[in-house]
Amino acid sequence: MARIVEAIGRHKSGALSCVEAASLLGMSERHFRRLRDTYAEDGAEAIIDRRCGKPPSNKVEGKIKDWVVEQYVTRNFEFTPKHFHEELKKRGFDYGYTWTKSVLYLRGVLKPAKKRGAHHKKRQRAPLPGMLVFQDGSTQDWF
Q: What percent of the chain has pLDDT over 90?
A: 35
φ and ψ at residue 103, rounded to 5 degrees: -65, -45
CA angle 90, 94, 98 (to 5 degrees): 95
φ and ψ at residue 5, rounded to 5 degrees: -65, -40
Full-model pTM: 0.48
Lowest mean pLDDT among 4-8, 71-75, 86-90, 126-130: 126-130
* pLDDT band, very low/low/confident/very high, at 131 (cuts 50, 70, 90): low
* pLDDT band, very low/low/confident/very high, at 142 (cuts 50, 70, 90): low
Q: How far apart are CA 30 and CA 53, in angstroms?
A: 25
pLDDT in tens, 16-64: 999 999 999 999 999 999 999 999 998 888 888 777 788 777 788 889 8
Q: Where are the domains of the chain?
A: 2-47, 62-106
